[in-house]
Every structure is written in C-alpha cells, then in structure tokens.
Amino acid sequence: FQAVRPALADADPAVQRSAIRVLSAWPDSAPLEDLFALAHSPGETTVRTLAMQGAVSLLEKCHDLQEDAKVRILEREFGRAESRETETMLISTLGKLSTPGALQLAESRLGRWWQGVGRACILYPAGRHPRLFFRRPRAWNAQRNRRC
C-alpha cells in the first residue's frame, strides 16, 4: 500500500487513475481513507469520481471492517456527499449491510433522497437482520406493461 500511495498525489491524472484502480482492489481497508480523501479533494472531476467509486467498492468488499464501522463511515460520507450520484452510491452500499444501524441510517437518508424516484422497501426475513431494497414506482413499470 505504501508503494502505491504517493501516486494518488501525482500531478498526472492518468497516474492517479491507475493508482485508484490498484487501491480499489486492495485486499484490506488500508487505502480506504486515502481514497475518500482524494474523492473530496479539489481537482479533476474524473479522478474524484473514480476515487469515490473505488472507495465505495473497497468498502463493500473489505472483510476486515465490522458492519457497524462501515455504517459509521457511510454516515460520515453522507455528510460530505457533494452530488446525488455520490448519495446513490452510498445508498446502494448501505442496502448491502444488515445491521440495525444501517437500517436507521437508510431510513433517515431516504426521506430526502428518494423523493420522486421510487420506493424503498424493508424486507424482514425470518430470523435474520432486515434488508433494504428498492422498487420502481408503478408508473415506470406501466410503460413496460408490468407492475411492481
């Protein structure tokens, strides 16, 4: 990780993009904070977007973090989110976590985010943690002659 880390601060965006791709596939959560920091730093939009995508992808895949720690990271990133696309990525990741904290955070964020887009549904499987999933509004499916 330490060998690739300096490439994130390189002046060449191509070098930065390559470093982001490498760190996004890292086997543990070590580069996570660096990717989130790059996503919120001033600079080229493409690099920032790729860094956010890489950080979210790494957060989903890393097994060395407990789900409660992931929820805390997502909550922090919701406060720093600069666009609806970023919030969409974070909501998507949040839906893959199965802790009560994830559910509470989703309920608190969906009120503002979900207006006019669709419905969020909470599935309570027997003996398991609740899961969050999304459904399209019926108007979208009516265009295809299908219903939710």
DSSP state letters, 21-76: HHHHT-SSSTTHHHHHHHHTSSS-HHHHHHHHHHHHHHHHH-SSS-HHHHHHHHHH
| % residues pLDDT > 70 (the chain) | 74
The whole model's pTM is what? 0.73
Give the span between the Cα atoms of 21 and 36, in whole angstroms: 13
Instruction: Sort strands 119-123 and 131-135 into parallel, antiparallel or unpaired.
Output: antiparallel
Query: What mean pLDDT is predicted for residues 105-109?
Result: 80
Residue 36: closest CA among 11, 62, 14: 62
pLDDT of residue 112: 55
